Amino acid sequence: MKSREQRWQDRYLPYLIILPALVLTIGILYPFILAIIYSLTDYRLVSPVRHFIGLANYLDSFRDINFWYSLGVTLLYAALTISIEVPLGLGVAMLLNHEIRGIRSFRFILIIPLMMPPVIAALMWKMIMAENGVMNYFIGLIGAAPVPWLANTYSLLSIVLIDVWLYTPFCAIILLAGLQSLPKEPYESAMVDRASGFFVFRRLTLPMLKPFLILAILFRTIDSLKMFDLVYATTKGSHSTMLMQVSAYYEAFRWYNMGKSLSYMIVIWVVIFIISRMLVSWWNRAMQRATGTER
Amino acid sequence: MSTVVLKDVHKDYGKVKAVRGISFECADREILAILGPSGAGKTSTLKMIAGLESITMGEIFENGRLVNFLPPEKRNTAMVFESYALYPHLSVYDNIAFPLRSRSVQLKGESIDARVLEVADMLQIGPLLGRKPAELSGGQKQRVALGRALAKRAEVLLLDEPISHLDAKLRHHMRRELKKYQQALNTTVIYVTHDYLEALALASTIVVLNMGVIHQTGSPGVVYNRPADTFVATLIGQPRINLVPCRIQNTSAPELECISGDGSFRVPCPLPADQLPSGCREVLVGIRPQFLQLTPNLDDDGIAGEIYVSEYMGTDSIVEVKVGDHLLKVLTKEHGYRIAQAVKLQVLKKDIMLFDAQTGKNLLNHREPDASHGS
Amino acid sequence: MSTVVLKDVHKDYGKVKAVRGISFECADREILAILGPSGAGKTSTLKMIAGLESITMGEIFENGRLVNFLPPEKRNTAMVFESYALYPHLSVYDNIAFPLRSRSVQLKGESIDARVLEVADMLQIGPLLGRKPAELSGGQKQRVALGRALAKRAEVLLLDEPISHLDAKLRHHMRRELKKYQQALNTTVIYVTHDYLEALALASTIVVLNMGVIHQTGSPGVVYNRPADTFVATLIGQPRINLVPCRIQNTSAPELECISGDGSFRVPCPLPADQLPSGCREVLVGIRPQFLQLTPNLDDDGIAGEIYVSEYMGTDSIVEVKVGDHLLKVLTKEHGYRIAQAVKLQVLKKDIMLFDAQTGKNLLNHREPDASHGS
Amino acid sequence: GKQSGGSDFDPASITGPFRWDRAAGETIKLHLNKHPFTESLVPTLDEFTELTGIAVEYSILSEEEYREKIIIELSSQSGSVDVFMTGPFTEWSYVRAGWLEPLESYLANPALTNENYDPDDFFPVCLTANRWNGKPGYSNYGLGSQWAIPVQVETYILAFRKDWAADLQLTPPGNYKEYYRFAKAMTRDIDGRRVHGVTARGIGTWSTIATGFLTGFASSGCRDFDDQMNCTINSPEAVAFTEIWIRTLKESGPLAWTSNSWYDTKEQFESGQYGMWLTVDFFAVGFENLEKSRIARKVGYTLAPAGPDGKIRSNMWTWALAVNRYSRQKLASWLFVQWATSKEQLRAAALAGNWNPSRQSVWDDPQVASITAEWDNYRAVVSENLQNHASVCFTPQPEVPAIGDRWARALQEIWSGTDAQIALDRAAADIDRIIEKSGMKALIQ
Amino acid sequence: MKQAQQYSSKRQILIWLALAGYAVFALFPLIWVVMMSFKSHIDIISPIPKFIFTPSLDNYKAILFGGQSTQYEVGQTDFLLYFKNSCIITISAVLLSLLAGVPAAYALARYRFRFKDDIAFTFLSFRFAPEIAVIIPIYILYQKLHLYNTYVGLIFVYQLITLPLIVWIIRGYFEDISVEIEQAAKLDGYSWWGVFTKIALPLVKPGLASTAVLAFIFAWNNFIFGLILGSSDTYPSTVGTLGFISYESVLWGQMAAATVITILPPLILAVFIQKYLVRGLTMGAIRG
Ligand SMILES: Nc1ncnc2c1ncn2[C@@H]1O[C@H](COP(=O)(O)OP(=O)(O)OP(=O)(O)O)[C@@H](O)[C@H]1O
Ligand SMILES: Nc1ncnc2c1ncn2[C@@H]1O[C@H](COP(=O)(O)OP(=O)(O)OP(=O)(O)O)[C@@H](O)[C@H]1O
Ligand SMILES: [Mg+2]
Ligand SMILES: [Mg+2]
């Protein structure tokens, strides 16, 4: 009897605990499935009828160089933002982790950008980056010619800059919280061991912080692969900023091709899925390693 | 060359005064033990020496240099933490190798390997080198922590109860190895312990700390035989010293006598009248249980008492003898005593200590130093 | 009523076999000590009894009931963790009160208060009740951990080296309090320690564990005086037992004699020839250092040797005496020996132990039980 | 109340005298674009409810969001919207999707339309622009059902800095070569700061096409499609015009033209840094706002430059009210449309800034006329445009957004250095493919 | 609380300078927005950026009280309603996510069970979906279920944003708690719920707080869900803020003022939470 009770606990308790979250999840699963089904049809917003057309939307996309271009730009965008935001966020978090005078204000100040709705932030930045905007004004002060920040050649980098401004604090917060949850004693002993700052960083902080780093990378990867708001609010998707989700937006809301648009989005979904899978298994390993409990 | 000098060092944690002005010197290449009960301020002192805790007041010098504000990584110390402070993500091997790879030591592959293996061997943790700290038992963790400190070969080695989790045999082995190591490398060692046996066996100087105050600083022999006060006297020695409140009186005996309140306990006073602090008549007489001889022969001289309880302790027994209102502990090899058996207790005058009843201070402390302590 | 019975219990951590089939019974209201060196599997055993670690193989019964699968919160046990496992966010008071507020105990305000204060008083942590664990010293943390376990008044109390961080005085005090507590509340206690003195002083049964295997189970007297094998013999007793490899020979002496390889060491064989296992001639002769009498008088009978080294240990000295190729430790109160001084060693036949040279097993173990252990 | 709607509601079934309270007790849902018309409409909605007993709920969104939202609402065919704002070429998609209720039978039914309504008062071009017969090709422009009633009209005229022109002794351009030179001449440094001769929208969406560009394009005698619905944006005339248009921008225009949305462009012009803009007429409201504009009273207005044949074809747009085909309250909806587009309402709206009015009577109202009195010769130019030059310059077909976006991208490519012929050839090919896929060709008569 | 490290003043200044450098980057656009909210339109579109101007409260007046605005640019009087909507939806969504997600995170961190990794990944995979991809199917579904333009519907769909974040980040904090501390609590007679509420939750409080703020911010800033699935009764303030893009110009001043007001709640929240971003006495000791 007792042993059965225990087994029941062992087996079902975790599921029970997860159940509420799972119910929410499954509720939202339905539209997902619908989206996949629609992507297999010639669904147009302006057409009352839908026909099942198999993978035609996908094949169509794969044959379209714009699709590949879009995918390329998206990956480039994600790579750029993450490779700037995570190290920068780590740096900021490490600075914020010092208990010095005034640090609380800094902690507060540095997360403020996060609070701007991205669409609004992008509009504000667009204003700042305008030809007669403040950025060019400051550049002008040092004698440089005004830069067309949001014109084709520069626009991707400019949007990356906005993204960095907006989301570096996100990385910083996650990493700061991570830093704060690290055990203090190894640091003390490392100090006594006369390890240099960089050595401690590489050998202690990085490995122990890795789970948090991966989490930051994970969430930033997911979000920047489906970036939309910033581009939409600044360039409306000029050629060099035609991210996947922007393309999908055009297909769906401007050209009414819902089926094709969904095929774009399912593809980006799959890309995110694959990358995340990798990151998550990496996270699992890092988590175990950081606590020294490999199974 | 490595000396450590503390001058009137204080440590407050908010309102808690952990260390209240302590001063001592640790000479080059010596093992200094800080001995004290739980909460005495031992760890705090050690951490201040390592530079891990700020110094509330006072000065710490290493090699004559003021180090109050020197960050820990700039000092050449190694430390074993009470809580081990192992790196959870590193294997035992990497834990030990960690300080060797840091910039200040910067050994290369093979020499790291050699050092790690040497230390692992000494600590008998060779088979564990591949494991992570989470997979170790308590004693194993402690040995790894010790190994990490030793591998570094720092000039000053700070050890915070480094072998408290080991069994007697291993502890004995460790003590020897530590001594060998210290002599081979000319390290200065500050050793925190609550175990007086460890302090006696290892240290050349013992600092007795309590409630953040130093009660006595001295060689093991001095601390054992001439404790500065009742605190030190009771801290050291197991079973603990018998303390009997007495009055010093001029009796018919040839010299002064110490007599307990009910008169049941009386021993000769080890001090002549002229050496007694004026007015001091109320004292505590201290006699270590080993120095009390028990005899069933009631015709012998001595203090009359009866057996109260007897505790078996392996070879020896601790016998408590009731003398008037007092219970005196006696360490004896005879196990044959019955409860309530009448006995006589004898003690040599040289084995009697005298403490001020008010202050607890040892009244004999101007006596010649006793040179009988061992190697 | 609370008994704990282990039947052939195994514990593997992956490839590491921590416990390899141990069985013992802990009777109701007794204190059972698990004694073993570092890494022996003590903590693992305790955690299995508490239900915190899964049991790889075997069965554990509490009160006759199989509890292999009973979750820890359903058992009426309390435990002191080696690493304390205090709740970092709770004050000392709340740490101790925590189990009292659980559903299984469910005390109300005042009675909680009373219990906490009582325990705090007993452990001398009254003034610390308002602090958080991070503000405590090592020994203070340990006492809080102990307090938390005691406050609960569980039927079974599991203690994992609960006083290793305390000084001798406090430790002594704790041991007494623990015994009082156990007797007052009729608790069954399983006490893990690496300190044989603690085990001897506290337990009514001692289980000697090494490498996951039980070497001996018995009362303190049995374990001390009739160790099952050389492992137990060396684990218990400080300084450790002298073991001299000898051959049993028929000499001119009236009985058999044990003679070392170079002939320098010879003692009478404590067993008559007919009781010796057939063919067993190679033995280890074990004599505890206390049982060796040292005499400077070279005319006396005994084994000739010379002083090799002498270590001062408070009252006693440990003197190592060189006998042929062997170093024998002797515990003596005389401090006057000079290095290289020639001496004689005497030993009573009853104090001689005999172990099989191959297996290490005690060859005398069919002798009458020795009843000489104390209260 | 009774349901007066559903997709098979027949307005002809309603007979009898006109009554405002025919649908009393119903509730209709409006979807409105953020627009001066909306701003003036919303405070008066209570009057409508009082008059008709019809309750009104409404949602207002900015243009981009509005367009997304309305498509989704309409495509759900759930009747979640009754009346909404729309305009000519977006209607073309909705008509083919079958989302719009044809309004001519409501207009014609005296039981449904009160006698004071006076549909003939609307500028004819405004009503025409909201008619279509669902067949592709320019010959079908203005034929077929009335899908929406215009509340406002925009045409394209040339706004320029008359003070600069005077300084430089320039006359406004009459054709696109002059336009180029005019822009070039006005590009110079004033007080050490660069000012530019021209600005225009440049983001990669059809709105970049639909504005000044399409006006110039059409004036130059070009069309987007021929009669067989083959894309002709790469015809020789088209390439020539496109080249000069882009060259003007490139040499005399904003640095980051490709990110210029309508409001960026407007701000640029209002900030006083640009000399000329072939823009929608009603932006003059902003230019002439003394509080918010740096160029008030400094702007001259003239007709768009003419093409080689001397003709001007000014593109136009009207915001108009349409009724959802799937509305369940069509009667109430029509009553609302009728009320909101009445002379009184539109006059009030015009006075509140709804520019330009779609009714002749409102345009001629002295109080309305007085508003624009100080705006150079704005009034004359707009009147002239509405009389003679305005029409929708896209070819009617439902894929305007898709082809417009593709086309705009070609302009951006050209601006970034691609040869105009090549860029337009590629765009034309893509556009042909879009038309092909849309199945339009089958409908050509 | 004691701090082991003692910072030399040189080091402090270096850290300070580095942080100040970043702070300029982080704050500049915001300062610009705040300045803009006090500027008149003509100052805003000035060709040379104006740093000195006569501040006025007109923009705030316009958005809060609607009232006086010029003939062509009527202020958006619904803004306060949208603001309230945002508060209701966002707070409820975060609470719901916390309620369902934190226990789930705990189970994922502490128990081993079949499909654990898959379930965890499923939670995460919610965030993968581009919003635009699911919005149409959800819209259609909501029309059918009458969840369209309701708080409940929006709160539910906001789980897409908040739930993965909360489950995944909090899970990491739970994993950090020393197993022995929880074991001790079990021995002390607490069921999983007791251990969870009395030990685990208090220990991850700092992480919980900062994650909740993050989730709140992400939800607060969302735009597309509110736009498509809400309507005039339920639009969140982001939709409202974009409403300041008027037909013929952007009401920069009012938009800036609205932005300032919109970021106030997360800002205030962050002030409260800020103390949790500092290692409490409890932290640091939780990893075994
Ligand atoms: N999680 C684990 N994974 C792998 N091996 C482990 C783990 N925990 C303990 N061990 C190993 O199991 C053996 C027994 O460990 P246990 O903790 O029971 O020892 P112990 O008797 O308590 O020792 P100590 O006195 O040092 O605490 C040791 O060799 C230890 O290294
Ligand atoms: N962080 C802290 N905050 C407040 N009080 C503290 C703190 N750390 C230590 N203390 C107090 O300071 C005193 C000395 O502590 P310390 O750790 O130095 O003792 P210790 O001699 O090492 O004791 P133990 O042998 O028990 O480890 C103790 O009373 C302890 O409670
Ligand atoms: Mg300590
Ligand atoms: Mg253990």
Asked, for residue C209, whether it belongs to a domain, the answer is: yes
Interface confidence, given as ipTM, is 0.85
Q: Domain range spanning residue C312?
A: 238-356
Helix (H) or strand (E) holding D2: none
What is the pTM assigned to this prediction? 0.86
pLDDT confidence of residue A121:
87
Q: Mean pLDDT across chain D, nearest whole number?
A: 91
pLDDT confidence of residue E72:
40
The CA distance from A148 to the nearest CA of chain D, in Å, is 5
Structure confidence by residue, pLDDT tens digits, D95-144: 999 999 999 999 999 999 999 999 999 999 999 999 999 999 999 999 99
Q: Which of A25, A109, A125 sits opposite E23 (nearest CB)?
A: A109
Residue ranges with CB less than 5 Å from ion ligand 3: B 43, 82; C 137-138
**Tokens matching residue D411:** 């302009």
Cβ–Cβ below 8 Å for B73 and A195: yes
Helix (H) or strand (E) holding A225: helix A206-225
In a shared domain, residues C135 and C214: yes
The CA distance from A235 to the nearest CA of chain D, in Å, is 5
In a shared domain, residues C115 and C223: yes
In a shared domain, residues B61 and B156: yes
Structure confidence by residue, pLDDT tens digits, B220-272: 889 988 999 999 998 888 788 999 999 888 877 777 888 888 888 888 888 88
Asked, for residue B170, whether it belongs to a domain, the answer is: yes
Q: How far apart are alpha carbons C89 and E282 in whole angstroms? A: 5
Asked, for residue B373, whether it belongs to a domain, the answer is: no
Structure confidence by residue, pLDDT tens digits, C334-346: 777 888 889 999 9
CA-nearest residue for atom 6, ligand 1, is: B135
In a shared domain, residues C41 and C61: yes
Confidence of residue D57 (pLDDT cuts 50, 70, 90): very high
3-state secondary structure of D230: coil
pLDDT confidence of residue C273:
76
Phi-psi category of residue A236: left, alpha or beta, with phi > 0 → left and psi -120 to 50 → alpha: left
Please list every residue in chain C whose beta carbon sits closer than 8 Å to the beta carbon of residue A7: 69
Q: Which of A18-22, B296-300, D312-316, E4-8 has the lowest mean pLDDT?
A: E4-8
In a shared domain, residues C269 and C222: no
Confidence of residue C368 (pLDDT cuts 50, 70, 90): very low
In a shared domain, residues B10 and B61: yes
The residue among C210, C229, C248 that closes a domain is C229
Q: How far apart are alpha carbons D294 and D193 in whole angstroms? A: 16
**Tokens matching residue D275:** 């000399």
pLDDT confidence of residue C49:
93
Average pLDDT for A157-184: 88
Cβ–Cβ below 8 Å for C137 and B43: yes
Q: Is the pLDDT of residue E201 over 70?
A: yes
Confidence of residue B176 (pLDDT cuts 50, 70, 90): confident
- CA C298, C304, C305, C307 torsion: positive or negative? negative
Total of domains in chain A: 1
Which of A45, A238, A239 is the best mutation test for D, with the most CBs of D within 10 A?
A238
pLDDT confidence of residue B105:
66
CB count within 10 Å of CB C167 equals 23
Asked, for residue B118, whether it belongs to a domain, the answer is: yes
For chain E, residues classed under CATH 1.10.3720.10 are: 79-282
**Tokens matching residue A236:** 């409306």
Confidence of residue B369 (pLDDT cuts 50, 70, 90): very low
User: How many CB pairs below 8 A link D and E?
Assistant: 92
DSSP-assigned states of every residue in A146-174: P--TTSHHHHHHHHHHHHHHHHHHHHHHH
pLDDT confidence of residue C120:
94
Asked, for residue A212, whether it belongs to a domain, the answer is: yes
In a shared domain, residues C202 and C173: yes
Structure confidence by residue, pLDDT tens digits, A24-74: 888 777 888 888 999 999 988 888 788 899 899 999 889 988 899 999 999
Task: Cite the beta strand spans of chain C per DSSP E.
Answer: 4-13, 16-26, 31-35, 57-62, 65-66, 77-80, 156-160, 188-193, 205-210, 213-218, 242-250, 256-260, 266-268, 282-287, 293-295, 303-313, 316-323, 326-332, 342-346, 353-356
In a shared domain, residues C319 and C256: yes
Q: What percent of chain D has pLDDT over 90?
A: 73
Q: Which residue of B has its CA nearest to E287?
A: B88
Q: Is the pLDDT of residue B72 over 90?
A: no
Average pLDDT for C250-277: 81
E288 contacts C83 by C-beta, under 8 angstroms: yes
Start-to-end C-alpha separation, chain E: 21
Average pLDDT for B345-351: 89
Structure confidence by residue, pLDDT tens digits, A189-217: 887 777 777 888 888 888 888 888 998 99
Cβ–Cβ below 8 Å for E184 and C132: no
Q: How far apart are alpha carbons C144 and C138 in whole angstroms? A: 10
Q: Is the pLDDT of residue C266 over 70?
A: yes
In a shared domain, residues B125 and B157: yes
Asked, for residue C284, whether it belongs to a domain, the answer is: yes
Cα C289 to ligand 4 centre (Å): 29
In a shared domain, residues C220 and C319: no
What is the phi/psi pair of residue D297, to 5°?
A: 70, 10
Cβ–Cβ below 8 Å for B104 and A183: no
pLDDT confidence of residue C1:
60
Q: Is the pLDDT of residue E68 over 50?
A: no
The residue among C229, C257, C279 that closes a domain is C229
Average pLDDT for D433-438: 90
Please list every residue in chain B whose beta carbon sits closer than 8 Å to the beta carbon of residue C236: 314
Amino acid, res. A147: V
pLDDT confidence of residue A218:
93
Q: Is the pLDDT of residue C41 over 90?
A: yes
D290 contacts D296 by C-beta, under 8 angstroms: yes
Cα B137 to ligand 1 centre (Å): 4
Asked, for residue A40, whether it belongs to a domain, the answer is: no
In a shared domain, residues B183 and B246: no
Q: Mean pLDDT across chain C, nearest whole number?
A: 87
One CATH from 2.20.25.160, 3.30.9.10, 1.10.3720.10, 3.40.640.10 for E79-282: 1.10.3720.10
CATH code of the domain in which B306 resides: 2.40.50.140
Q: How far apart are alpha carbons A223 and A114 in whole angstroms? A: 14
Top-confidence residue, B137 or C315: B137
Q: Which of A130-134, D69-73, D195-199, E241-245 has the lowest mean pLDDT?
A: E241-245
Strand partners, C19: C11
Asked, for residue B53, whether it belongs to a domain, the answer is: yes
Structure confidence by residue, pLDDT tens digits, D377-428: 899 999 999 999 999 999 999 999 999 999 999 999 999 999 999 999 999 9
CATH code of the domain in which B110 resides: 3.40.50.300
Cα C211 to ligand 1 centre (Å): 10
C316 contacts C370 by C-beta, under 8 angstroms: no
Q: Domain range spanning residue A75?
A: 66-291
Of the candidates D231, D246, D234, D123, the one whose C-alpha atom is nearest the C-alpha of residue D176 is: D246
Confidence of residue D70 (pLDDT cuts 50, 70, 90): very high
Total of domains in chain B: 2
pLDDT confidence of residue C279:
66
Average pLDDT for B203-226: 92
Q: Which residue of B has its CA nearest to E11?
A: B71
B283 contacts B277 by C-beta, under 8 angstroms: no
pLDDT confidence of residue E284:
39
DSSP-assigned letter for residue D329: B
Cβ–Cβ below 8 Å for E2 and B52: no
Asked, for residue B371, whether it belongs to a domain, the answer is: no
Helix (H) or strand (E) holding B364: none
Beta carbon of C167 within 6 Å of any ligand 2 atom: no
Q: Is the pLDDT of residue A100 over 90?
A: no
Structure confidence by residue, pLDDT tens digits, C168-206: 888 888 988 898 898 888 899 999 998 888 898 889 999
Confidence of residue A3 (pLDDT cuts 50, 70, 90): very low
Q: Is the pLDDT of residue B19 over 70?
A: yes
In a shared domain, residues C131 and C198: yes
Confidence of residue D242 (pLDDT cuts 50, 70, 90): very high
Q: How far apart are alpha carbons A269 and E133 in whole angstroms? A: 9
**Taking CA D194 as the corner, what is the angle to CA D190 and CA D197, rounded to the nearest 5 degrees?**
95
Please list every residue in chain B whose beta carbon sits closer than 8 Å to the beta carbon of residue A208: 88-89
3-state secondary structure of E145: helix
Structure confidence by residue, pLDDT tens digits, D132-186: 999 999 999 999 999 999 999 999 999 999 999 999 999 999 999 999 999 999 9
E254 contacts E63 by C-beta, under 8 angstroms: yes
Chains C and D make contact, 3+ CB pairs within 8 Å: no
The residue among C229, C264, C284 that closes a domain is C229
